[in-house]
Structure 1
Amino acid sequence: MDKVPEEARNYLMEAHQLAGQWCLPNDRGDYTNSEANEVSSVAIIGGGTMGRAISICFCLAGFETYLVVRNEQKCSTEMEAMLRKLKNIDLIVESVFEDMKLKKELFAKLDEICKPSCIFGTNTSSLDLDQISTVLRDPTKLVGLHFFNPANVIRLVEVIYGSKTSSTAIATAFEACEAIKKLPVLVGNCRNFVFNRLLYVYFDQSQKLMYEYGYLPHQIDKIITNFGFLMGPMTVADMNGFDVMEKLKKENGLKPNPLEQEMWRQKRYGRKTNRGFYKYDEETQRKEIDMEMELMVRKYSQSARPNIPIQNEQDVINFILYPTVNEGFLCIEEGIISHESLIDIMYVLGFGWPPHTGGPMRFGKTEGLEKVANTLLHWHSLEPTDRAYRVAKQLEEVDRKNMSSKL
């Protein structure tokens, strides 16, 4: 943060403080009147990359920590015997595969085993908390604890409340996150929550540049890193695993674009399969340009007829970032998050958004909301069926006032 302009640095510091001043809707409690349960023991269910990294966080913070590794080879009796050892645990963090049926079955078992005061946390990145909580006798105990990869490095946790989540569960989640030196940010329950809602727009726009405009993965990544991001979108997608996107889109009934369909068919899932938008050396994992991928991009883009003109690198940046900013305003409009600066601190800490810009929402304001609104409204007129250009009311209002002032 040393090279970040003072104004942006102060803005992000204020957002950091604001994150701690959480409040549930409908007078259900807030940071001033809610008491956390004492947590000295934590169990993480799921021994994948994320589960292991979360365990490291709690171990290093001095918690009595248990890691329960699910294994398909283990019989259900053996698994239940392992879970029964958790009857006196204070906090559960579930981190199994992103599958609603699997998570509900697990929580139903834990609900029979764990003590009444145990708080249940789920590391889901997109699934409906209210649906998961239906298997619990007391659904107020369930809270979303969305960590980011790598969880032992990224200093952010998206804390999600459902329609029945108690202030005690939120207070406990906040204290646990702060104890492991993470910044908790409270958001509401909706498809993909806040962080991933913006992220999917960011990725979708990046992919449109390939299959509609013929931009190659390394070209897009270079433009974005030149702007100040730590990594380009295609490198990030390969690192996260494109199979995760496949699972989420299928789970939520979202139609894949033609490039995604072909990548899924070829099982181009990124680093884990040694090929995605790039190819990776099996031994060194060194990233290389993949000519097969580039041929695929050229194949799809040759027949595309996009309506939005893109003529230079600045147009590319706007094409990716303006709809991302708009999605942030939609989240605020829907009451999913309380303040735009909280979106900004999430993206600076959790994604490597260039801190000198202050985050996506502050970037939008620096660009000029009139410019962002006018651009998006124009794109919406050219692509009326594309949800990415459904303009938030706040931006529509900015454009309306701007037009009125010119009359």
Structure 2
Amino acid sequence: MNNKKKISDNDIIKHYDIIKNTLLVPEKRHINLITIDKNNIDSDVAIKEEEIIKIYNTNLDFYKTPEKRRIFQLIFDSEIKAKEFLDNAKNLDSINNYINKNNIKKNDIDLGYVTKEGLSDDISEISFNLSKRKFSNIIKSAFGWKVLFIEDIKSEKNLSFEEVKKFIEDDLINDTISERIYEKANSFYEKFIETNDLSSSLKFSNLEKKNIKNIEIDNIKKIEINGKKFSEDTLVKIIFNLKEGSLSDPLENKNNNLFFIHLEKIIESMPKKFDVAKEEVIQDIYKNLRKDEAKKIADKVYNNLLKKITPDPTSYNLIKTNWITNDNRLDSKVDQKIKKIIFKTKLNTYSKIKQMEENKFIFVKPTAQSNKILEKDKRTISKDILLDVSNSIDNDILSALLIDLKVKKKSNINQNFINSF
């Protein structure tokens, strides 16, 4: 490329006209956030004791503390050692003697008091079928051979009315407040559906809005919703699927508050004005010039090699690979795209030129192949190989020349242009 090449204003304007529909100002949306906060809902709720008693008596099975067992779990690295221990184990003293002898801390084998649901599947059923102060049989697991010992059992216990009264009362109060939240939300929503008028709907339901302008996909974080239990991607989908003037379904956050999103206005995406986009246009021209020059050099090197003419060594890199496979058994560092090119190219011939990066082109030449590099137990059945292999290559392994064509000449047209090489 000519180091003194200049880009005229006329060329910039012409290129702007070509690509302006790709240089867009992002779509923006103005929204209103309407929140129904439980802290603003009347929390004066009177719960009669008769109602609490009725709920207690109806749900006696629920108001129980489950059976818990204190379990010691010993893990051995062989079945023989586990059997040897079990043959001599009689009681808790046997465990204490074993852990002292083997320098094991008691906390390392003590699972504490646990419920059946709190145990892994491989020991839960066995643990809760054992009697107190009894050892289990040997249990084979992924971690070794286990032996369990039940040190103590706390039986299931019904909780008294007084123990659960406050819990039931609080639950009823929260349920009542939640009902009031949904009643208020429903009142607002129905009024909006009826009138399609946000202001009158807010006034009718005694609610307020929070206006947030210029929401874009990339700045969705500016919407502050305390305790939201959905992702930013979900929020983007909700907002950018709404029609102008429409209202979302009610959404709930982790604090059990409800909110609606009202789409006030859509500012459509449009091409940037020339003055704003000019620098991007110039950079796009430079990018195309770099790519064109790189392709020109690649074609020249390629044609010279085909004609057995030595190319200019400063215009490309020649890389000799180690033995590679078309999966990751050998030399997994080689780009999978390059491997695909190598294994689709006939031995001792050049592949077609392929563009790998913005201004980087490559072509390859497989130079050797072998069936003997891998040991038999490392071979992959051909149907399991991830990439299709050309029918012209029957072998698993190749070595190749990789011709890396990357423009090395630098231009003083623009500093950004220079830095990109």
- TM-score, shorter chain, exceeding 0.5: no
Higher-Rg structure is 2
Q: Which bracket does the TM-score occupy, shorter chain normalised? A: under 0.3
Q: Which structure carries more relative contact order (alpha carbon 8 Å, separation 6+)?
A: 2
The two structures have a TM-score, normalised by structure 2, of 0.19
